[in-house]
Structure 1
Amino acid sequence: MHVMPDSFEDLTSECLPERPWRKFPFTTFIAMLSAVFTLVIDSCCVSCFKKKFVAAAATNANASTCLEAGERKEVQLFGHSHCAGHGHDLHADAEQLLRYRVVAQVLEVGIVVHSVVTGLSMGASMNPCTIKPLIAALCFHQMFEGMGLGGCILQGECGMKVKAIMVFFFSTTTPFGIALGIALSNVYSDRSSESLIVEGILNAVSAGLLNYMALVELLASDFMGPKLQGSKKMMALAFLAVLLGAGGMSVMAIWA
């Protein structure tokens, strides 16, 4: 909600030369490229790991199922259709699991980039009136982002090592950005051309990535899934929850 306007403000600032920064909408252009690049990365990740992961999982599980001692006779009589059905279900489950893992990792990247920029801005700020409300907004902001990312990690059924790494980066990137901002506060000026360009570009990249993930990977996949499509009541509640969440984040954007 606030990332895109922040990028607009940075890249159209009076502190930057009029050409080219105020003659071309760099924010929307970079956000569009970021969304397309995220789509490419998403597609390539699924394409690269799909054959290895899904085929291996389906083959191993199918073989172990069909060769159980108690089912050998049944497999001899009806084994072809039985194994084919199992193979199809396992293939679909493995593909969906892989999808969840890719979504969790790409979402983590977007949150990390955004968190570093936010922490850097807050750490370098010298105005207590700006910092105090920003801390409260940041706490709620990180909490909701963490809840969303945690849900994606659980759906992906990642191992403990991967979970620990993702939790570590999510937990430390904002404090790292704050510490970096404090360390650079003597030489860092949020009105300098270099800082405006860097922050504006990073915010635009983060906005494009997070918009793609939110609309395409998270909301669209849930609302088009069989669980919501099969229940009008649940779909209505889901729409209400999305509107309430968007409204809450819009209110927090006043201070963010």
Structure 2
Amino acid sequence: MNKIQTHSGRHFTLILFFVVLLPCLVVGDCTCEKEDDTGDKGLAEKYKVAALVSILFASAIGVTLPMLGKTFPALHPEKDLFFIVKAFAAGVILSTGFIHVLPDAFEKLTSPCLSDHPWGDFPFAGFVAMLAAIGTLMIDSLATAYFKKSSVSEKDAVVDEEEQVGGHDMHVHTHATHGHAHGSIPSPSTDLLRHRVISQVLELGIVVHSVIIGISLGASESPDTIRPLIAALTFHQFFEGMGLGGCISQAKFKTKSVIIMALFFSLTTPVGIAIGMGITSSYRENSQRALIVEGILNAASAGILIYMSLVDLLAADLMSPKVQASGKLQLGVNAFLLFGAGCMSLLAKWA
């Protein structure tokens, strides 16, 4: 399990490095006329600060709620309410990928500003999203297999050492322990490893598009653009946080890792807004470099989110014995899945 914790630390280091480098990648010369922003820049700054605070609190509350299973028994991962809330959040994440992130990637990579660039001759947004989904599947499978083999190898090494040291009685006792250990591997330990991989990969996909959203909002100087985004993104981050928080709570990380993951999610969009505010004068959303970088990252994020929501969140829960055994719970899970996807899709009108 220490290897898993080390992997988690490296994962967050990579995200931090990525967050620091992103603003440098999207700053460039404008090659297409930038749309004029109308409105009071002072008022826009106030809206940005309000958005930063609102989104920060919504993200923190959303990602924390599912982790309070011990405090609120109704939110325990084995309760019906947990499955229903998680289905709603998964619907939000699925809609985010299909309705918000992927169309934005297509818009960026098919922009008229790229008409004289090779990127305009191929549907790179769909291609990158497909590669991201396939890559997520491979990482999901390989990481789970690796950690599972490591866990089995460690248990076998302990058993072999005990058999060599002990006598006949110890051998009999160890043999029974050995059989018990192997019997427990397929269910709890494998599920735990899966939840840990799922939570980390899902957070990676969420963090990527959250930073881009934050930078775009922070760089905008139009109050008319920012105002509707405040409520829309607050709702978005709250329920997206609930989906991620549910995965983290099922992964049973150590307290330190849970705090780090929750902080990363809560801070990414506000940090993106702060970065956007800092680079307002040099950020050109219609520059070729910005369009290509944001388009690729959005497409990759969409592929990750779509795969994770369908395969690791929804399929895993809908096919679980608990949901399969209860028609009432099946109805509730499916209804709230559609409700979450519908609510998030509706937000596309404003965000």
Which residue does the alignment assign to 1:198? Answer: 293
Which of 6, 11, 17 is the equivalent residue of 2:115? 17
SS across alignment from 2:238: helix
> What's the TM-score once normalised by structure 1's chain length?
0.87
Report the CA distance between 1:58 and its aligned residue: 8.7
Equivalence for 1:119: 214
Number of the residue aligned with 1:244: 339
Aligned-pair distance for 1:15? 1.0
* Mapped pair 1:2 → 2:100: yes
Match for 1:182 among 251, 265, 277? 277
Task: Please say if residues 58 and 87 of structure 1, whose CA atoms lie closer than 8 Å, have aligned partners that are also in contact.
Answer: no
Aligned position for 1:100: 195
Alignment deviations for residues 59-84 of structure 1 (CA, whole Å, 9 cap, x no partner) = 879xxxxxxxxxxxxxx999978974
| Corresponding residue of 1:36 | 134
TM-score, normalising length from structure 2?
0.65
Tell me if the contact between 1:58 and 1:94 (Cα under 8 Å) persists in the aligned partners. Answer: no
Aligned residue identity for 2:132: S
* Corresponding letter in the other structure for 2:207: V
2:306 is aligned to 211
Taking the aligned partners of 1:221 and 1:11, their CA distance within structure 2 comes to 33
Q: Which residue is 1:72 aligned to?
A: none
| Fraction of identical pairs, as percent | 52
For structure 2, the 5+ residue unaligned runs are: 1-98, 160-170
Structure 2 CA distance for aligned equivalents of residues 221 and 103 of structure 1: 11
The answer (yes or no) to whether the contact 1:54–1:94 under 8 Å persists in 2 is no
Query: Does the 8 Å CA contact 1:112/1:173 hold for their aligned counterparts?
Result: yes
Equivalent residue for 1:27?
A: 125
Q: CA-atom RMSD, angstroms?
A: 2.5
- Structure 1 residues 23 and 92: alpha-carbon distance in aligned structure 2, compared to 1, 3 A threshold: same
- Cα distance change on mapping 1:78 and 1:60 into 2, 3 Å: closer
For residue 190 of structure 1, give the secondary structure of its aligned residue in structure 2: coil
Q: Are 2:321 and 1:226 equivalent residues in the alignment?
A: yes
* 1-structure distance, mates of 2:219, 2:130: 29
CA distance in 2, matches of 1:162, 1:58: 27
Q: How does 1:73-152 map to 2 (within 5 A)?
A: 84=179, 87-152=182-247
How many residues are matched?
Answer: 245
> For 2:188 and 2:155, how far apart are their aligned partners in 1?
10
Aligned mates of 1:60, 1:244 — CA distance in 2: 49
